[in-house]
Amino acid sequence: MTTRCIGIDASRAISAAPTGTEGYSYHLIRALLPQLTTRHTVRLYFREPPSPGDFSHVEQRIIPFPCLWTHLRLSAELWRHPPDLLFVPAHVLPPVRPPLTVVTVHDLGYRAFPQAHTASQRLYLELSTRWNVRVATHILADSQATREAIVQTYHVPPEKISLVYPGYDQGLAPERDREVLAAMRARYEIPGPYILSLGSIQPRKNLARLVGAFAQLAPCYPELTLVLAGPPGWLVEPLHARVRELGLEHRVRFPGYVAEADKAALISGAELFAFPSLYEGFGFPVLEAQACKVPVLTSTTTSLPEVAGEAALLVNPLDKEAIARGLERLLADAALRRQLVALGETNLARFSWQRAGQTVATLLERLLDTTKVAL
């Protein structure tokens, strides 16, 4: 096989506070490199230097720029030194690019729930996604639900889109050390048993209904706390106002962004994991909870049943009463909790970054051999 140059936009693979797309970029690139570097030159583009050792064994182009990095600075770099193929795992394709391009589209949530985004965010997501699916040679989708949404919304030929399931952090495991768990609860000011939800605090996560459902349970479980962990997104104040309106200021905690070092302990210490999101392109938190052997409640919508498999209690996220009944059932039924935990171990076997890397590497090499791909 002829050695070719594969460029990868790694600008979102480094972040002080990574969320889903940053984690996807970081882990997928790391899984890709062993598959590609023995046969091809791989060139990673960064806006700022990565941590020493993370990607030191491949060519790096550090190209800082204050604004419009993709449209101006990356485009200029690609014009001067074009790779044979460009892969963008977590951002928009630049205006100047090589003829062969692959991009991941993670979700179309801004279309399904426009009210969950600000007007500027909706405009940016609409324009950037429309651009990506139109000009890319090939598209990756995290789930079958997202793949179908792209086809239906933007009339993209199905053969132009490949389903590639992401993996999960296989180093994530249940934390059982009582001292570690107690230290974590003290650090995040969690007084006793708790229900956990983890993800950015934004309307799409459906946290207002989760708070309402918790309010119905709260009188029967006086020691129980609801922990809504994750960085603030947008339209956060109405959620805080709803908590105050229900008189739950001391029963609902907002610890903010959770450091990776604390994630296993925070998840493992929960009575159950509640993720009744309105829309998800994939739903990493579901797998993280399953990896920590915590029973999961999640939604019947979009990719979540696909990702959770049989290892979660599914509820209609638009029905507050259904969420409350689901929480109550998981709290009361120890046998169901054990069953979901056991099924979660089986479900996790479907997801692997190594497998995702192998699949994407095969696709990229096929594209380099021919500009017409049908997977």
What is the mean pLDDT of each successive set of 10 residues along the chain, which is 375 residues long?
86 77 92 92 94 83 92 96 96 95 94 80 92 97 96 96 95 94 94 95 93 96 96 88 95 92 96 96 95 98 96 97 98 97 97 96 93 45
Residue 36: the pLDDT is 93
Name the superfamily (CATH) of residues 178-348. Answer: Glycogen Phosphorylase B; (3.40.50.2000)
Tell me, what's the pLDDT at 373?
A: 41
Report pLDDT for 370. Answer: 79
What per-residue confidence (pLDDT) applies to 51?
80
Query: What pLDDT, on the 0 to 100 scale, is given for residue 18?
Result: 66
pLDDT at 212: 97
- 3.30.70.150, 2.60.120.10, 3.40.50.720, 3.40.50.2000: CATH of 5-167+352-369: 3.40.50.2000
Q: Where are the domains of the chain?
A: 5-167+352-369, 178-348
Distance CA 289, CA 64 (A): 37
Closest CA to 204 of 107, 273, 126: 107
Q: Give the model's pLDDT for residue 112.
A: 83
Please give the pLDDT value at position 292. 98
Cα–Cα distance for residue pair 355/36, rounded to 1 Å: 14
What is the pLDDT, as a whole number, of residue 2?
65
